[in-house]
Amino acid sequence: MWMGIACLLNARRSGRTHFRFTLPYYIAMVIPAFALWITEAPFFAWLVLATLILLGDKIIWWTTERIWGPFWLSNSPR
């Protein structure tokens, strides 16, 4: 959840393209984290989830900035 909030604040401040897409992604990742917490999952499950979250973040970052560029068009600091 804290990563989603950080993305929201960074999207407003910097205008980077990927922040607009990682925000909903991180908020959605709260659901599987909550499910692991409720079921008292083993440590390995937490490592798998963390890896998936970070991998998804990198894929979103790379894809969105390759397609639309590093800065959102309406808020370009260039």
Considering its fold, how many domains does the chain have in total?
Answer: 1
Does pLDDT of 78 surpass 80?
A: no
Residue 15 lies in a domain: yes
In this structure, which long-range contacts are made by residues 47-50, counting pairs with CB atoms below 8 Å and at least 24 apart in sequence? none
Residue 78 lies in a domain: no
pLDDT in the model for residue 74: 53
Question: In Å, how far are 6, 17, 44, 71, 77 from 74, measured between CA atoms?
Answer: 20, 10, 42, 9, 9
- The range of the structural domain enclosing residue 54 comes to 2-73
Summarize pLDDT for 25-67 with one digit per residue, the tens. 888 999 999 999 999 999 999 999 999 999 999 999 899 888 8
Residue 11 lies in a domain: yes
Please give the residue that has the higher pLDDT: either 4 or 65. 65
Cα–Cα distance, 17 to 44 (Å, whole number): 32
Residue 62 lies in a domain: yes
Please give the residue that has the higher pLDDT: either 71 or 61. 61
pTM of the predicted model as reported, rounded to 2 decimal places: 0.71
pLDDT in the model for residue 46: 96
